[in-house]
Homo-oligomer: A and B are copies of this chain.
Amino acid sequence: MAGSEEEVKLFGSVGSPFVIRVQIALKLKGVEYNYQEETLGSLSDTLLKFNPVYKMVPVFLHKGKPISESLVILEYIDETWKHNPILPSDPYQRAMARFWSKFIDDKCVAPAWKSAFMIDEKEREKAAEELFEALQFLENELKDKKFFGGEEFGFVDIAALFIPLFKEVAEFKLFTSDQFPKLYKWSQEFYNHPVVKENMPSKDQLFGYFKARSATLAASRK
């Protein structure tokens, strides 16, 4: 394998929220890395070798060893570069951060995807209802905190970036300041965070990613 023993490399696709999670974590830690752009639907042999299970970005490479799954990568980054912690130090708060991040992946990301891109209207409506219910849980969890973990931007905020990004592309009517005032306020704090600002793709890049991802998903269902 080329590159030094200490090389940090990220295989991503511009506009992928899962990849942006990793980029934000690396930026928070100040870790320099090489970036390799992958084309959805035509992934490199290296990517497929590193992630034979899911055949997806992101793949994170450190000291020649690959890791996939964005939340798993975030935990690795937090354990490897210990300054500027992403997870809280208290075991119960850590458990809550893991719980809500998993909740976001299981209960928000999948229905958000369906409610934005499914062709069948009934399925789309059902997904929108599921998403509405899930966002209500997140709204309640935010309480009056600035970020999910409190004053500090952290693990759950990074996991939840899917929500404002998706909103930008799909223009959900669901997610308004009236219905989810706390999530709305959070999304503003989120966008205002300096590390987030630096790492946000343009709207065109986001659209490009969602279109390509939607096409590869449709192809996999055939």
Query: Known: A53-B137, A91-B76, A91-B79. Contact between A68 and B99, CB under 8 A?
Result: yes
Contact-residue bracket for chain A:
20 to 34
Minimum CB–CB distance from A134 to chain B (whole Å) comes to 9
Are B76's CB and A80's CB within 8 A?
no
- Chain B residues, CB < 8 A from A98: 69, 72, 75
- Chain B residues, CB < 8 A from A80: 91
Minimum CB–CB distance from A185 to chain B (whole Å) comes to 22
A103 to B56, CA, bound (A): 14
* Residue A203 CB within 8 A of the other chain: no
- Interchain CB contact (< 8 A) of A69 among B67, B76, B99: B99
Are A94's CB and B76's CB within 8 A?
yes
Are B72's CB and A99's CB within 8 A?
yes
A165 to B67, CA, bound (A): 29
Within 8 A of B (CB), among A58-89: 62-63, 65, 67-69, 72-73, 75-76, 79-80
| 0/1 string, A91-107, CB within 8 A of B gives 1 | 11011101100110001
Are A94's CB and B75's CB within 8 A?
yes
- Interchain CB contact (< 8 A) of A92 among B65, B96, B137: B65
- Interchain CB contact (< 8 A) of A95 among B73, B99, B103: B73
List the 8 shortest-distance A-B pairs measured between CB atoms, nearest first.
Answer: A79-B91, A76-B95, A72-B98, A67-B95, A80-B91, A72-B99, A72-B95, A65-B92
The chain A residues found within 8 Å of chain B, CB to CB, are 52-53, 62-63, 65, 67-69, 72-73, 75-76, 79-80, 91-92, 94-96, 98-99, 102-103, 107, 137
